[in-house]
Amino acid sequence: MPNSTHSLFQLVLTNLVVLFLIVSAQQPQDTPIARFQRYLRINTAHPRPDYSSAISFLESQALSINLQVKTLEFSPGKPVLLLTWPGSNPSLPSLLFNSHLDSVPAESSKWTHPPFFAVRSPDGKIFARGAQDDKCIGVQYLEAIRNLKEKNFAPVRTVHVSYVPDEEIGGVNGILKFVASEEFRKLNVGFAMDEGQASPGDEFRVFYADRSPWNLIIKAKGMPGHGSRMYDNSAMENLMKSVEIISRFRESQFDVVKAGEAPNSEVVSVNPVYVKAGIPSPSGFVMNMQPSEAEAGFNIRLPPVADPELVRRRIAEEWAPARRNMTYQIIELGPLRDYMGRPLTTPTNDSNPWWPIFKQAITAVGGKLAKPEILASTTDARYIRQLGIPVLGFSPMKNTPILLHEHNEFLEDTVYLEGIEVYESIIRSLSSFEESSSY
Ligand SMILES: [Zn+2]
């Protein structure tokens, strides 16, 4: 080969190598972290969650590991994705691993990294809306199954994985319709897992119940009158008396929390959220007239141990009594008792045969469990518990600040990867549990 041709050849070769390196660096890698990032980059935040892109991503992941795939739609545009890994003994009740597709909105301008870029910082933090709540578990379930399949593990019980819409806006067109469906009944679910919350400490947190939200609106009526007159039973006076009484109750509950006698999630919380009164004028409100109507709104959260009847009676007799010209409306958001009338709690003792298996699965991978808790907020788990199915709320994120619904939500890569191992252990143990066909 002449010298000039030789150097030309070398130049072309070098360029080709460089081109190859550039192209391969730009190719998205197919690693567990890359797959997590791909899911996080799909914007499923309200008010316009892109459910179809999320479903097609998850579906392709599921098909790549040979899971059975079914998309159900109980409300138009609100798909539920159901994946199934059949067990060797399908007559045994199955397992369900649930997560929600949607997330709360993110105010981009308040974030260090754009909330749907899933940027991984040099120290391994993956920033995205949904990183903790709850896209992590959604993909971890799949990664755990992928690893178990690679190790030729075969489940005895059938394992289902579900992805539901609209959890963040109450689940009425999501989990609620799913659990009420014939398809759900046919799954014969014996035990389910749903999202939990991050743990700032070294122990994993697990939740056996949620608090139930109530919205309370109280309305007062009274004689209108001149601003200068003092008289009994004005609407404002009646409303303010109620506000005082409710505030005292709130304080009594908060004192228990402050004294360390119970966590926030075990008391009845009641917080004022609005007051509406006064007669509008062009410059604000008419100031020399006492209005004939006034109302206030409260957000109440009831732990499963609270007696809803007692709270209802308290509202009727003390917070909005008819004798003070008060009326009220309670909007109960979700169930308080299961179909048998029992509180919506999942036992975390040996009376629940799944509990020791779950616990053991955590210790098997060197994990520690914190004392089981009631979740202060609400998840879809309550709708599954309502059917009498035991559900644990669990998201394996330890040494992680609680950032759900906050700016700069992130999850560390190592925490995410460890979570996959934890689910491998959980799915392996639970799906191998053969005892008693009643569970
Ligand atoms: Zn969530």
pLDDT in tens, 98-129: 999 999 999 999 999 999 999 999 999 999 99
Whether 160 has a binding-site annotation, put simply, is no
Q: Indicate the SS3 state at residue 53.
A: helix
> 404 CA to middle of ligand 1, Å?
8
**Whether pLDDT at 422 is above 80:** yes
pLDDT in tens, 7-58: 666 666 656 655 555 555 555 689 999 999 999 999 999 999 999 999 999 9
Backbone dihedral angles phi then psi of residue 263, each to the nearest 5 degrees: -70, 160
The pLDDT of residue 230 is: 95
pLDDT in tens, 228-253: 999 999 999 999 999 999 999 999 99
Number of other residues whose CB lies within 10 A of the CB of residue 419: 25
Percent of the residues in the chain that have a pLDDT greater than 70, as a whole number: 93
* Range 32-206+348-432: architecture per CATH: 3-Layer(aba) Sandwich (3.40)
The pLDDT of residue 29 is: 82
> 161 CA to middle of ligand 1, Å?
16
The mean pLDDT value of the chain amounts to: 94
Q: If one looks up domain 212-332 in CATH, what number appears?
A: 3.30.70.360
> 405 CA to middle of ligand 1, Å?
9
Whether 133 has a binding-site annotation, put simply, is yes
pTM over 0.95: no
Give the pairing of strands 284-285 and 280-281: antiparallel
Whether 405 has a binding-site annotation, put simply, is yes
pLDDT in tens, 35-44: 999 999 999 9
**Residue ranges near ligand 1 (ion) with Cβ within 5 Å:** 133-134, 195
> 378 CA to middle of ligand 1, Å?
9
The pLDDT of residue 305 is: 85
Backbone dihedral angles phi then psi of residue 45, each to the nearest 5 degrees: -80, 145
DSSP string across 285-350: E-SSEE-SEEEEEEEEEE-TTS-HHHHHHHIIIIIS-GGGTEEEEEEE-S-SB-TTS-BS----ST
**What is the rounded average pLDDT of the residues 341-350?**
94
Whether the Cβ atoms of residue 300 and residue 215 lie closer than 8 Å to each other: yes
**Whether pLDDT at 3 is above 80:** no
Whether 195 has a binding-site annotation, put simply, is yes
**What is the rounded average pLDDT of the residues 293-318?**
96
Active site residue ranges: 102, 167
Domain boundaries, the chain: 32-206+348-432, 212-332
The pLDDT of residue 377 is: 86
Q: Indicate the SS3 state at residue 215.
A: strand
> 133 CA to middle of ligand 1, Å?
4
Question: Residue 183 corresponds to which tokens in the numbers above?
Answer: 């398809």
> 402 CA to middle of ligand 1, Å?
12
The pLDDT of residue 169 is: 94
**What is the rounded average pLDDT of the residues 256-281?**
96
Distance of CA 121 to the CA centre of its chain: 25
Whether 202 has a binding-site annotation, put simply, is no
Residue 291: is the preceding peptide bond cis (ω within 30°)?
no
> 381 CA to middle of ligand 1, Å?
10
